[in-house]
Structure 1
Amino acid sequence: MTVVSLLTVLIAALFVPTATAAPKYRNYVSLGDSFVSGPFIPLQRLDPLSCFKSTQNYPSVVARELGIADFTDISCGGAQTKDMFTAQSGIPGQSTAQLAALKPDTDLVTVSIGGNDIGFMDIILTCAGKSLLDPNGAPCKANYGDELAQRVDATAPKVAAVLNGIKQRSPKARIVVVAYLRILPPSGGCWPIVPISKGDVPYLDNVQKQLNGMLGAQAEAAGATFVNPYDISLGRDTCAAPWDKWVEGIIPTSPAFPVHPNANGMAAVGEQVAAALAGTESTGV
């Protein structure tokens, strides 16, 4: 081959478009609560504003990572399992049941739900208040005892009903149950920056492990994929340095709602879910 011919072949190769794989998923619906919607993380969406959805929440990251054009995010701050089936009144709230977004041709559904069923924010506020008089003790554990574990158990059949509702409406969909990012360190804590008593930190951390474990069990029973961001977020909790944390504390140091994921946390969860869907990441089952 002459030099001229070789150059012609090389130039032609540069301008021939390479084939790109079509997106594996075409119709993606995101369901869930404020750990999905991303309250106060810029930019907030207007559909509706009362749900406090961010364009940087983890479903948005998943849609971008996987190149999914048809993406519906109907997550809403404050949502409980019941709001999957009926309209969520008040603020946060929306006039449509979340499951109404599902269609027969929906082929991917992610869902994070259950934290508000056990009373997530009420627990945080109660435990923070009790810590003021006993920062080194475990007043929250003394107050709740086994009640929170019982709440987790009582939420299990509700989550099962949600997953069954998804399968009924979108029988061909890949369902991904996404658990909750780590909120507290395993022990110690950082009172008063995050006002949870030292003895209550492992107690509440264990409640979160029970909640995530329940979600994993329900996902397995339903034949769904389970992704557990708790497993990747050690050292990224509310007590971490502002540049390290993925979940903000009572007083946020970056734009996010208190005790909720920030943009970095959402990015990490979105990337973990996308990797699981691509088959390159352990799902934490």
Structure 2
Amino acid sequence: MRRSRFAVFVSATLLALGGALTSGAGSAQAATGGYVALGDSYSSGVGSGSYISSSGDCKRSTKAYPYLWNAANSPSSFTFAACSGAVTSDVLANQLSGLNSATGLVSISIGGNDAGFVDVMSTCVLGSDSTCLNRINTAKSFVDSTLPGRLDSVYSAISSKAPNAHVVVLGYPRFYKLGTTCLGLSEAKRSAINGAADYIDAAIAKRAADHGFAFGDVRTTFTGHEICSSNSWLHSLELLNLSESYHPTAAGQSGGYLPVLNAND
């Protein structure tokens, strides 16, 4: 088990380095072939406000990293298909129509909802430490047994429909700053939730590498900006707007996600 996890870590690290060395490839391709942004709420921009009214419940934001990248780079076309609440099957069913053989750049964040992100967070907020940790262990088992196959289906479909595109798979941040006084969840819960983020990121990075995609690790840019830090880029529990809880703020999109896409595009 230790060797397996070490191999995942090495693979993800090498892929990140490779993405940095080829930075700019997606920008050049998108200039002529266009940019397509796929994925879940972390890509649609839930939590950052300024939602595009025509996007409805998908809550696509003008402050989300795909919209910001498009504004800064002016690709030949821009398809913003990411949608709040999306799971892998939603991407396959509803988000791939903008892809074609000319597509130059594709970005995607997906997998968190498949692994039960919302239920994990609600269980940890409302339950005991042991209940929280048990739910996280269940999610990890799903990440081991089922998520890789679902990611493979999505990544293979992207490659099939956009064979010439540079694809950047964005991961998820760690949620909590540890070792500090913080109201709300216990240190044990916060540590376990961070560990779960690491676990799913490792799995996503491995599947991305196996498909020849770049993996964008946002844990680096969010370091120092987690919940419980003095300058958080993530919403904590928002009782007046539950859907934005545990999502990046506008600053998290522009400071956490956009630089990582830029470094790997």
**TM-score, normalised on structure 1?**
0.76
Residue 102 of structure 2 aligns to a residue in which SS? coil
Give the aligned length.
233
Residue 224 of structure 2: aligned partner: 235
Residue 139 of structure 2: aligned partner: 148
Residue 199 of structure 1 aligns to a residue in which SS? helix
Q: Deviations over 1:226-265 (max 9, x none)?
A: 1110122122112223xx11111003899x8111001000
Task: Give the CA deviation at 1:188.
Answer: 5.7
Residues 215, 201 of structure 1: alpha-carbon distance in 2 compared, 3 angstrom cutoff: same
Q: Deviations over 1:175-209 (max 9, x none)?
A: 100001221224567232xxx22212111111110
Q: Gaps spanning 5+ residues in structure 1: where?
A: 1-22, 87-96, 132-136, 278-285
1:139, 1:200 within 8 Å by CA — same for their partners in 2?
no
Runs of 4+ in 1 over 6 A off after TM superposition: none
Residue 189 of structure 2: aligned partner: 200
Q: Deviations over 1:1-29 (max 9, x none)?
A: xxxxxxxxxxxxxxxxxxxxxx6123000
Q: Which has the larger radius of gyration?
A: 1
1:186, 1:205 within 8 Å by CA — same for their partners in 2?
no
Task: Give the CA deviation at 1:102.
Answer: 1.1
2:40, 2:87 within 8 Å by CA — same for their partners in 1?
yes
Q: CA RMSD in A?
A: 2.1
Q: Gaps spanning 5+ residues in structure 2: where?
A: 1-26
Task: Give the CA deviation at 1:99.
Answer: 1.3
Residue 108 of structure 2 aligns to a residue in which SS? strand
Higher relative contact order (CA 8 A, sep 6+): 2
Residues in 1 aligned to 2:254 and 2:74: alpha-carbon distance in whole angstroms:
15
Task: Give the CA deviation at 1:145.
Answer: 6.1
Residues 67, 189 of structure 1: alpha-carbon distance in 2 compared, 3 angstrom cutoff: farther
Residue 154 of structure 2: aligned partner: 162
Residues in 2 aligned to 1:169 and 1:200: alpha-carbon distance in whole angstroms:
41
Residue 262 of structure 2: aligned partner: 274
User: Greater helix percent: which structure?
Assistant: 2
2:47, 2:248 within 8 Å by CA — same for their partners in 1?
no
Residue 80 (structure 2) pairs with residue 73 (structure 1)? yes
Residues in 1 aligned to 2:110 and 2:96: alpha-carbon distance in whole angstroms:
13
Q: Match of 2:238, as an amino acid?
A: I
Seq. identity, %:
27
Residue 118 of structure 1: aligned partner: 115
Counting only pairs closer than 5 Å after superposition, residues 8-87 of structure 1 correspond to structure 2 as 24=28, 25-26=30-31, 27-86=34-93
Residue 30 of structure 1 aligns to a residue in which SS? strand
**TM-score, normalised on structure 2?**
0.82
Residue 255 (structure 2) pairs with residue 258 (structure 1)? no
Residues 220, 158 of structure 1: alpha-carbon distance in 2 compared, 3 angstrom cutoff: same
2:47, 2:247 within 8 Å by CA — same for their partners in 1?
no
Q: Match of 1:210, as an amino acid?
A: Y
User: Which of 203, 208, 214 pairs up with 1:225?
Assistant: 214
Task: Give the CA deviation at 1:123.
Answer: 0.8
Q: Deviations over 1:20-59 (max 9, x none)?
A: xxx6123000000001111253321133212111001011
Residue 36 of structure 2 aligns to a residue in which SS? strand
